[in-house]
Amino acid sequence: MGQTLTYKILAGHLADGKIAPGREIGIRIDQTLTQDATGTTAFLLFESMEAAGVKTKLSVSYVDHNLAGFGPENHNDHLYLQTIAAKSGVYHSRAGNGICHQVHLERFGKPAATLLGSDSHTPTGGAIAMLAIGAGGLDVAVAMAGGPFYLRCPKVLGVKLTGRLNHWVAAKDVILKLLSILSTKGNVGWAVEYLGSAVPTLSVPQRATITNMGAELGVTTSIFPSDEQTEKFLTARKRQTDYQPLAADPDAEYDRLIEINLSELEPMTACPSSPDNVKTVAEIAGLNIGQVVIGSCTNSSFADLMMVAKVLKTRHINNMVELAIAPGSREVLNMLAQNGALADMISAGARILETGCGPCIGQGFSPADGVVSLRTFNRNFPGRSGTTGDRAYLLSPETAVASALTGKITDPRNLPELFGIEFPEIKLPTEFLVDDSMIEKPLSEQDAARVKVLRGPTIVVPEAPKPLPDRLQGKVSIKCGDKITTDHIMPAGPFLKLRSNVPEYAKVVFNCFNEQGKPTFAERALELKQKGFAGIIVAGQSYGQGSSREHAALCPMYLGIRAVIAKSIERIHKANLINFCIVPIEFADPADYDKIKPDEQLQIDNLLEAINSSDEVEIINKTSSLKYLGRLELSDRDREILLSVGLLNYTRKKSRKNN
Ligand code: MIC
Ligand code: SF4
């Protein structure tokens, strides 16, 4: 039987274990990426490992999330990241250079390589056949120090693409279609591999939109083969030497196969407030809108923005719509400036935002109350835009720009009839602008040794976890429902600037559930901690969806949370919990979820013994006298990490043993 592309790259990087679905494996990591919102913690933890410098082939630290800069926090972070990168042999992409995933694809990604990034959209790199995986900052720090990355070997889902995209139907519609089939739940432990006769018709930026939003499916990674399109993409950026063809064997067998005929697709949208709440644009066309934002790591490539500029040329946006455009990288912005497309956007009334994450992570451009906001982003979780009760729709740049012209949700296939706009074929240039002047290269060892790392007062080394007790006596600090995202747990937006200061950031854990005039979650949790109780989070399905932010484990840990009991927990978040010594427990019988109430007292006896050698724990409800069975789905390594009081200690212990 032939091999899938995923398994070929995994096998080529295997450092520990055996390739078989569900088995834990360790893989060598060639490249890492970090961004500023997760990067300061990652580097603070990396520093505490006392590794002289990074051991990967290439590590890049990006500044793209926290650019708003109210107060000194963001700039403190930038200076710390710049100087610690110089000290550690890491490339540093400065603020303004672009979104990590876009720049990484343009400047550093390579077919067949492994990439680990402290951002859930790292699988964007799968567009050029990288095996690219998102993880918590501590996992990335360990990889930077030369350690393998451990994961459960995924099952491989083949997505066979046939037919051809019709005019005005976009790559975004392909991934929204897949989200409508698979949803955001229940895909943990899978990798998605694209194949089929339509693959050669998709450019790398189109593929990147698709692999990027694989994160919303909750899969480990998504990948396309490396072919002529990949070669074209790399050659246009003077990187032809990084190209190599790569594909699954023709007789590769997939654990599941889905077929999507691109010719049958139509414009789609994810309605509020989940990326899998998908409808066709035709179904909701005509809805009045107040805002359109085009950008993010999903849809801000040169090709996307050229499409937008061509539609806007000589036209003007509707007077009830605010349109913002955030190009994904300096390369894109500069090329639009040089070819005049930027002027077309400005003339049409667009507000040009800085190249970076911007409104995607709630940094400005929050919609007014009750107003419909259209976004070409990948996430529309409740409140992520910065407005409580927001009505954010995710859709393609084609649909976004058509709607900006009319002031209503508009199917872009109607543009010829409405405005006489012919479908603009975007011919990508054979040479792109290459300007790495905002990327600082690693220094020589001698120069690196002389660098003074700048640590502003808002950069606080995170507290270490405490050992788990053998008898866990706890209280239910909160009971939440299904699909709790890391945005619910740790809000971004105006609080994003607190990422380097856990005690401050922890004050807003579960902020969206806080009620005015009542003690906050943080206050209640700290009170429990002072009384000697362990905090326990009870949740429904898919707890910890979305971002890789390890603060969603780190801050609760700081508040005394020692266990999460949920119907199911998402991959990256589960790893983050273990890394910070919080026990992830799944209900053996999901119906038990209904039998627990907030504030009830729970007890788990012989916890350490269970972590050491059992797959289950008994949870005694001291308030109601009920008993529940909890599943511990832990690998041997997970168990060791929990018993070693977290990944950092575990790594230190291991390296002491090896020296
Ligand atoms: C996001 O899209 O939610 C983020 C911000 O990029 C996160 C990382 C973070 O929280 O810093 C992600 O996707 O992992
Ligand atoms: Fe940035 Fe948004 Fe992409 Fe996250 S999803 S990396 S916030 S642009």
Helix, strand, coil percentages, rounded to 5, for the chain: 35, 20, 45
Q: Which ligand is nearest to the CA of 357?
A: 2
**Ligand 2: nearest atom to the Cα of 298:** 3
Distance CA 307, CA 325 (A): 12
pLDDT for res 69: 85
The half-sphere exposure of 22 on its side-chain side, counting CA atoms within 13 A, is: 2
Cα of 587 vs centre of ligand 1, distance in Å, is 28
Cα of 357 vs centre of ligand 1, distance in Å, is 9
Clarify whether 524 is annotated catalytic.
no
DSSP annotation string for 197-223: TTGGGS-HHHHHHHHHTHHHHT-SEEE
SS3 377: coil
Cα of 413 vs centre of ligand 1, distance in Å, is 33
Q: Please name every residue paired with 603 in a beta bridge, in sequence order, or none if there are none.
A: 473, 620
DSSP annotation string for 17-32: S---TT-EEEE--SEE
Beta strands in 126-267 (DSSP E): 131-134, 149-152, 155-162, 190-195, 221-223, 256-261
Q: Letter for the amino acid at 60?
A: V
Clarify whether 330 is annotated catalytic.
no
Clarify whether 61 is annotated catalytic.
no
Q: Which of 595, 486, 616 is nearest to 551 (CA)?
A: 486
pLDDT for res 1: 83
Query: Which residues surround ligand 2 with Cβ inside 6 Å?
Result: 65, 99, 119, 121, 296-297, 357, 360-361, 378
Q: Nearest 5 degrees, angle CA 201-CA 185-CA 548?
A: 80
Pocket test of ligand 2: the residue of 378, 384, 496 to mutate, having most ligand atoms within 8 Å of its CB, is 378
Q: How far is CA 315 from CA 346, 478, 537, in A?
A: 11, 51, 52
Q: Letter for the amino acid at 619?
A: I
Query: Which residues surround ligand 1 with Cβ inside 6 Å?
Result: 37-38, 65, 119-121, 361, 492, 546-549
H helix or E strand, kind and range, residue 177:
helix 171-182
Pocket test of ligand 1: the residue of 36, 62, 118, 121 to mutate, having most ligand atoms within 8 Å of its CB, is 121
- Among protein residues, the one with the nearest Cα to ligand 2's atom 3 is 297
Q: Which of 321, 485, 517 is nearest to 402 (CA)?
A: 321
- Among protein residues, the one with the nearest Cα to ligand 1's atom 4 is 547
Residue 505 tokens read as: 């950031």
Tell me the average confidence (pLDDT) per consecutive run of 10 residues in the chain, 659 residues long: 96 98 98 98 95 95 94 97 98 98 98 98 99 98 97 98 98 98 95 98 98 98 98 98 98 98 98 98 98 98 98 98 98 98 98 98 96 98 96 98 98 98 95 98 96 98 97 98 97 96 98 97 98 98 96 98 98 98 98 98 98 98 98 98 97 84
Clarify whether 344 is annotated catalytic.
no
* pTM of this structure: 0.98
Distance CA 457, CA 72 (A): 9
pLDDT for res 658: 75
- Among protein residues, the one with the nearest Cα to ligand 1's atom 11 is 37
Catalytic residue from among 13, 36, 61, 65? 65
Task: Answer for the pair 376, 300: CB distance below 8 angstroms, yes or no.
Answer: yes
Clarify whether 304 is annotated catalytic.
no
SS3 84: helix
Strand 472-479 and strand 372-375: the pairing is: unpaired
| pLDDT, tens only, 89-101 | 999 999 999 999 9
Long-range contacts of 524-531 (CB under 8 A, 24+ apart): 524/477, 525/477, 525/556, 525/559, 525/560, 525/561, 526/559, 526/560, 528/475, 528/477, 528/560, 529/559, 529/560
Clarify whether 274 is annotated catalytic.
no
Strand 190-195 and strand 131-134: the pairing is: unpaired
- Among protein residues, the one with the nearest Cα to ligand 1's atom 10 is 549
DSSP assigned state of 498: G
Catalytic residue from among 413, 549, 562, 639? 549
